[in-house]
A = this chain, B = another copy of it.
Amino acid sequence: MTTNVHVAGVGSTKFGVLPGRNLQSLAVEAARAALADSNIPTGKIGCVFVGNFVGGIMTGQELLGPIVAADLGLSNVAAIKIEAACASSSAAVRIGHDLIRAGAEDAVLVIGVERLTGAPRDALTTAMTAAIDQGTEGRAGLTFPGFWGMVMARHMHLYGTTREQVAAVTVKNRRFGATNPLAQFQKPVTLEEVMASPPISDPILRFDCCPATDGAAALVLTSESLAKKHGAPAVRMAASVLVNGPVRITDYDEITVHDGTVRAARRAYETAGVGPDDIDVAELHDCFSIAEIVDSEDLGFFAKGEGGPAVLRAPSARNSKVAINLSGGLLSKGHPTGATGCGQIYEVVMQMRGRHPNQVPNARFGLTHNGGGTAAAVTVHILEAPQ
């Protein structure tokens, strides 16, 4: 006996540089917005899951579950922090989804939150590498720009992907971000500007990298019946999958194929009873521009090696087979690591409701893909618009 799980309400802060805000104030702002949006009475919430990655390292604050729950006026809830690096809050969604689906809970509040700005650049790099195994590759000096630089070089070598194709991802996502009021970067960039930006980790240039971002996003997950009872603007969660993948480069057979994404997608499509061709809109984990190309292939939108040309073929993306990162993606909307997963689902829920600033007409199925570490924790969520 299982029940359908719905996203009954969503809320988000602005993503960007938000000085003077601490984790709990951001989390509470997003959570209050989601609760108000959902019409679900606060007293129905049984669990508060806070997705957060480096709150301890960057701000010295843990225990976010009980602190945020208390500030929301909730007592007698199971309030915890869930961490899976940059996939923290979507991993929390998966746990909340399963508890509701099986009937253990009726309503779960999932919040993603992070503060990454305001610290020295070194502190941020150190914090991010907490998602690399410090016993092996972390100690050897690997960073995420380093990892993705290797992936990009190899992708160009194996499949003939060009520098321009990769740069076009940033151009596309910056254009969508320009019309998303929540986005950190709201100014388009040209292909020439991307190509002329300084090198970071060859062949990755500065405009291939997502920014450091502060922000929070929140979802109220409920059973179908509770959402209906309270007239929530609900969107059905057709699949919620979390799998683990290789945690070290040396565990990869081939670093241009992210096994975690392939397996998570396969299971999500199976659960939802759809295929990649049925997906109208998708939010992918474009922490670096090459990542969107790799992910679009591993999710089955394009054959391996076809992701690069596809970016150039569908420069507007709103007319393409699947419209990718209409939010601006991590590259333009920003990447408040622990908040990113909930933020992606927020965007797709808005598409499913027909209320997104970059709306795709008649979008029926939307997908989010969120990755933690070197694709070591991968979530795929599929949402379906109300019929």
Contacts and interface: CB of A to CB of B under 8 A. Distances in A.
Interface of A: 1, 22, 24-25, 48, 53-54, 56-57, 59-67, 69-70, 74-85, 91-92, 94-95, 98-99, 101-105, 126-127, 129-135, 138, 242-248, 251, 263, 372-373, 376-377
A144 to B, nearest CB: 12
Number of identical monomers bound together in the oligomeric complex: 2
Given A70-B248, A78-B242, A99-B102, 9 more contacts: A22-B135, A60-B134, A62-B83, A63-B130, A66-B84, A66-B247, A78-B94, A79-B242, A81-B84
Contacts of A242: 78-80
A74 B244 contact: yes
5 contacts: A66-B245, A75-B263, A80-B242, A101-B104, A102-B104
A88 to B, nearest CB: 8
A66 B83 CA distance: 10
A99 B60 CA distance: 31
A56 B59 contact: no
A75 B243 contact: yes
> Across chains A and B, which 10 residue pairs bring their CB atoms closest together, nearest first?
A102-B102, A102-B104, A66-B376, A62-B130, A56-B56, A81-B83, A66-B244, A78-B242, A79-B244, A98-B104
A258 to B, nearest CB: 13
B246 A70 contact: yes
A151 to B, nearest CB: 18
B244 A77 contact: yes
A94 to B, nearest CB: 6
A211 B67 CA distance: 26
A84 B49 CA distance: 11
Nearest to A243: B76
A98 B218 CA distance: 23
A80 B131 contact: no
Contact of A80 (B70, B91, B126): B91
